[in-house]
């Protein structure tokens, strides 16, 4: 273990000693400061922290790590506070029978409900890291309680549309003959897996779900045209392939998903531009812009 790591561990032990080991059942009655000074003069950043299934108060060496941990810790206490509401919406998700049927191949309605309600809760509690007083926590929890139902309903409407489109696409992707457009259809399936894979109902923001609806519309139009002229579709797919490969190469080189996000969504917009231009794109996009974005990500490593 190098000197820096030994120093980090020693600091962690000192910071840990400054706080109680007792797991918290509710938000502490005393305000949690953003920064404290330890007995030896070092600074520590207190944060509610999730450890196993418990929430404890811990000290961190830097403010960014403390904020991320504190947000998760506050959310864990909020989940306990709002458990009745969260359980209610998981059991009473407003999805139609048609949409529920389409959910079977991607985890089923129970998993969709769990992810969807969690996604609504996470989006509502985006600024949970700023809560450091019990009184503010109580008000914040009450606000989320009042907004959770409408947020779940809004997200459910979006997920409903996506599931119905997903079902239409799956039915249309049965090739009319053996070997027909094999690579083209495989590319479409991979796109669906990226957009609607496990956990999708909670992973994306409501704004992003709106864009995904358009991506699926573009995929549907691509499929209709592909069945008429698979050769033309193959040529268009070749315009996308270099950027899919760049994405994979960057991921394998250790670039984080957060760093790759701008490229991920720019590629999806480029797919709309290539396969269903009439739907329009949310951002200006072209092969030249994508090449530039790839280079920017590479140079930032």
pLDDT in tens, 150-173: 999 999 999 999 999 999 999 998
Span 6-17, average pLDDT: 57
Question: Which residues on neighbouring strands pair with residue 49, listed in sequence order?
Answer: 56
Q: What is the pTM of this model?
A: 0.86
Q: Is the pLDDT of residue 5 over 70?
A: no
Per the prediction, the chain carries an average pLDDT of 91
Q: Is the pLDDT of residue 27 over 70?
A: yes
Distance between CA 140 and CA 134 in Å, rounded? Answer: 10
Distance between CA 218 and CA 276 in Å, rounded? Answer: 5
| Residue 104 token pair | 């079977």
């Amino acid at each position: 273990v190098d000197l820096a790591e030994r120093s980090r561990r020693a600091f962690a032990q000192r910071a840990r000693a400054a706080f109680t080991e007792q797991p918290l059942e509710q938000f502490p009655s005393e305000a949690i400061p953003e920064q404290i000074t330890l007995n030896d003069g070092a600074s520590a950043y207190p944060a509610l922290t999730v450890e196993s299934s418990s929430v404890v108060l811990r000290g961190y060496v830097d403010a960014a790590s403390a904020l991320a941990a504190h947000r998760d810790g506050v959310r864990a206490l909020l989940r306990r506070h709002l458990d009745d509401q969260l359980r209610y919406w998981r059991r009473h998700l407003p999805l139609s029978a048609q949409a529920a049927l389409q959910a079977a191949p991607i985890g089923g309605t129970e998993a969709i409900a769990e992810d969807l309600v969690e996604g609504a809760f996470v989006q509502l509690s985006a600024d949970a890291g700023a809560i450091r007083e019990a009184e503010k926590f109580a008000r914040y929890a009450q606000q989320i309680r009042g907004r959770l139902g409408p947020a779940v309903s809004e997200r459910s409407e979006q997920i409903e549309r996506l599931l119905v489109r997903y079902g239409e696409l799956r039915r249309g992707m049965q090739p009319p003959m053996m070997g027909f457009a094999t690579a083209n259809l495989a590319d479409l399936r991979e796109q669906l897996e990226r957009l609607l894979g496990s956990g999708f109902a909670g992973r994306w923001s409501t704004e992003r779900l709106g864009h995904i609806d358009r991506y699926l519309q573009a995929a549907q139009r691509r499929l209709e045209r592909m069945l008429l002229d698979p050769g033309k579709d193959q040529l268009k797919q070749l315009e996308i392939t270099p950027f899919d490969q760049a994405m994979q190469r960057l991921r394998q080189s250790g670039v984080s998903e957060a760093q790759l996000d701008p490229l991920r969504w720019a590629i999806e917009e480029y797919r709309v531009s290539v396969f269903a231009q009439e739907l329009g794109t949310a951002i200006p996009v072209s092969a030249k812009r994508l090449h530039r974005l790839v280079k920017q990500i590479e140079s930032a490593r």
